[in-house]
Amino acid sequence: MTSTALEVRLASRPAGWPTEENFEIAEVEVPTPGDGQILVRNVVMSVDPYMRGRMNDVKSYVPPFQVGQPLEGGAVGEVVAVGSGVSDLAVGDNVLHGLGWREYAAVDAKHVVKVDGSVAPLSTYLGVLGMPGLTAYAGLLATAEFKKGDAVFVSGAAGAVGQIVGQIARLKGASRVIGSAGSADKVKYLVEELGFDAAFNYKDGPVAEQLAELAPDGIDVYFDNVGGEHLEAAIDSLNVGGHITMCGAISQYNDAEAPKGPRNMIQILGKRLTLRGMLVGDHKALQQQFVAEVGAWIASGELKYSETVVEGGARQAPAAFLGMLRGDNTGKMLVTF
């Protein structure tokens, strides 16, 4: 085993859109696992929209990344060494953990989950069967209180979360599923591959106009991954008693100025809308139900998923992250080592 390895550090905090200069690739000694720890050689890591918020030095639901220190995020890797006091893991096991952005990680054994690559590809534990999948499942069924017959609109529908939300809604009996995406190819993918009833390219014109055309009878649920113009448009289209899951606002993450809208929040009163934010960590109780139901849909071919994989490990992780923020990915954006 090599004695040195690469890790990605936060070199500086971005002002607006991040650049490659905000990251530093550092060579460090491979750590030795301590008592109760394992040493993991990462195989695949995740880049996610929420990580952009952690690059800012602001108080939030998760601590910010520290300048000069390695970033963190979901990863799956192979156990290559086991420290004292660890009896339930062995060399060769694959585990899911939170210390991505590096080639090797010494992780507390109590903070990892053993995963089986023979049951599902290792990458799926970071995507459709991982945090994004549970976010979609819980955000639609628990947070939005989806019920059979609801018309559902999903923004960022070709992303890691959005692609699963729309399909779950379809499988659970939605009357209509509409998605937005950022290219004609993604729109085609949503309709022809994933079974959305309709989709539109938000770059083709005002979101409100395109949504109203595709949902002439309004919508009952909006799953928000984008914020801004999309949220304003959804409020216009929501029927009385509609629900909004506020999962993300990627259109605003890199804004240097405060957002200008939505400008129609007064409609929340007249329509008696419910807007509810969600964090996936609040829904751990649904984990087993989620894996059982979504896993069965994947096995039967009823639910499909896409991944965008960037090879090259730590050196390519910043570019993959920036590409994800631009919307270069279809489905989950991953980096392989």
C-beta of residue 161 within 8 angstroms of C-beta of residue 225:
yes
pLDDT computed for residue 170 by the predictor: 98
Establish whether domains 4-127+306-336 and 131-281 are of one fold: no
143's CB contacts (< 8 A; 6+ apart) are: 243, 245, 276, 278
pLDDT computed for residue 337 by the predictor: 97
The predicted model scores a pTM of 0.91
Domain residue spans of the chain = 4-127+306-336, 131-281
For 315-320, the CB contacts below 8 A with 24+ separation are 315/6, 315/25, 317/8, 317/23, 317/45, 317/47, 317/101, 318/8, 318/20, 318/22, 318/23, 319/20, 320/47
C-beta of residue 243 within 8 angstroms of C-beta of residue 274:
yes
pLDDT computed for residue 66 by the predictor: 97
pLDDT computed for residue 8 by the predictor: 98
Task: Decide yes or no: CATH 3.40.710.10 for domain 131-281.
Answer: no
pLDDT computed for residue 254 by the predictor: 76
CATH of 4-127+306-336, one of 3.40.190.10, 3.40.50.300, 3.90.180.10, 1.10.3720.10: 3.90.180.10
pLDDT computed for residue 78 by the predictor: 98
Residues in the chain with pLDDT values less than 70: 256
Q: How many CB atoms lie within 10 A of CB 209?
A: 13
pLDDT computed for residue 315 by the predictor: 98
